[in-house]
Amino acid sequence: MATPRFPLWEVFIRSRTGLAHRHVGSLHAVDVASALEAARDLFTRRNEGVSIWVVPSASISASDPAEKAMMFDPASDKIYRHPTFYEVPEDVGHM
Amino acid sequence: MYTQGLTPETETPVRAIGDEAAMARFQARIDAEQRIEPNDAMPAAYRRTLLRQISQHAHSEIVGMLPEGNWITRAPSLRRKVALLAKVQDECGHGLYLYAAAETLDATREQLYDDLLAGKARYSSIFNYPTPTWADIGAIGWLVDGAAIMNQIPLCRCSYGPYARAMIRVCKEESFHQRQGFEIMMTLARGTDAQKRMAQDALNRWWWPCLMMFGPPDTQSQHSDTSTLWKIKRFSNDELRQKFVDATVPQAHHLGLSLPDPKLHFDEISGHWRYGDIDWEEFRQVLAGHGPCNQERMAARRKAHDDGAWVREAALAHAEKHKARAA
């Protein structure tokens, strides 16, 4: 008999108060409550977190790597968006 | 570890897929040390090689809980028991990280489980050896995890992103596994004569199977070339085996234990410990299912899976019921 399918969840952990939740991995669970419990057991055995998010993997939409150039290249020649583009005389000090 | 040299001998590696230009672009990304991610274009053979390696690695973590789980209830002190529990729990988690990495290559978790239970998938030969004494738990942590770490550290730089990230987590968590094993061996080696004999006996039984963990010698390894080209593998089987021997022999001497290899000697010129001939026929027999515990391991996995069926069904039914009530 084939094993029944459990939905897939993406897990995000906030490691310390004030930091953002960060993707740590994924797991299978039947519902939100069991996904949260499984995420605690799987990803926070050594106090790695103070908060967990679980998101159904099917709810995540990703950009297409084939369109990477179209998505991100327009930003690469806009060096004027970076502070180092602007010259400040040395005697003005750190700015 | 856990993953090398387990390829069925009938399978021929296929390298070229798609058009030449796409292959060249892919190789250029690998050569530039860029990580390949799940939704990137990749050759079918790259995907297949990784899926086989990652799933074998995952199965090994799961089956690997059995030899050590055997001693949880009989650990000689509370300190040893909590350490062993934590270690076995880690192995379970490592199996789950690896299954999740394998799933990014279009495998389903259920198919991976079913392949293992049906005997279609392989796991490391090392877990088909028995753990008759407490010293075996020390030897596993010290030697088996030592060999695993030797293999897993370079895998943290593997070209496939999800596998590399899983390995980083695994290596970080595993750092205590080898130390707790060495501590057990050290305690026994400093104990009574009977305890020291027990430690020596465990070392004698585990040494050669541990050297086999790195897979067949480079002259016989089938997939090394493409795996190296694609930066899945960073070191050859023999290179990793030599690193392990060089690191481990002085540790054994420190314990006052001897290694079961009359040909073992230090080669002043190369600076390496040279070891005797490995019994590759034993390795082939264990992989073919004729090791001391192959049947016992698979029977234990199948029983656990079957006994858990009602829990999975109940969990799904419970989730459905709550969804229906909320609707």
**Total domain count for chain A?**
1
Per-residue pLDDT at A87 exceeds 90: no
Q: Determine contact: B16 vs chain A, CB below 8 A.
A: no
User: In which band, very low, low, confident or very high, does the pLDDT at B224 lie, cut at 50, 70 and 90?
Assistant: low
Assign A27 to helix, strand or coil: strand
Closest CA to B100 of A3, A28, A45: A28
pLDDT range class, residue B18, cuts 50, 70, 90: low
The residue with tokens 């010259």 is A87
Nearest to A31 among B90, B110, B319 (CB): B319
Would you say residue A94 lies in a domain? no
pTM of the model: 0.88
Largest distance between two CA atoms of chain B:
76
Residue A1 lies in a domain: no
Residue B13: predicted pLDDT: 39
For an interface test with A, which of B96, B98, B301, B322 has the most A Cβ atoms less than 10 Å from its Cβ? B96
Q: Residue B267: CA atoms inside 13 Å, Cβ hemisphere, count?
A: 13
pLDDT in tens, B226-238: 899 999 999 999 9
Instruction: Band the pLDDT of B3: cuts 50, 70, 90.
Output: very low
* Lookup: tokens for B293: 């515990």
Q: What is the mean pLDDT of residues B7-20?
A: 48
Residue A28, domain CATH? 3.10.20.520
In a domain, A31, yes or no: yes
**Domain-embedded: residue A2:** no
**Structure confidence by residue, pLDDT tens digits, B258-284:** 999 999 999 999 999 999 999 999 999
- Classify residue A3: in a domain, yes or no: no
Give the chain A residue nearest B104 (alpha carbons).
Answer: A26
The range of the structural domain enclosing residue A36 comes to 8-89
Q: Is residue A71 part of a domain?
A: yes
Alpha-carbon span B283 to B291, nearest angstrom: 8
Q: How confident is the model at residue B190 (pLDDT cuts 50, 70, 90)?
A: very high
Indicate the angle between helix axes B161-189 and B145-155, nearest 10 degrees: 160
Using the predicted structure, report yes or no on whether residue A37 has a pLDDT greater than 60.
yes
Looking at residue B9, its pLDDT comes to: 40
| Alpha helices, DSSP H, located in chain A | 32-43, 68-76
Backbone angles phi, psi at B256, to 5 degrees: 80, 25
Residue A33 falls inside a structural domain: yes
Q: Which of residues 3-32 of A touch B (CB under 8 A)?
A: 3-6, 8, 25-28, 30-31
Q: Check if the interface score ipTM surpasses 0.85.
A: no
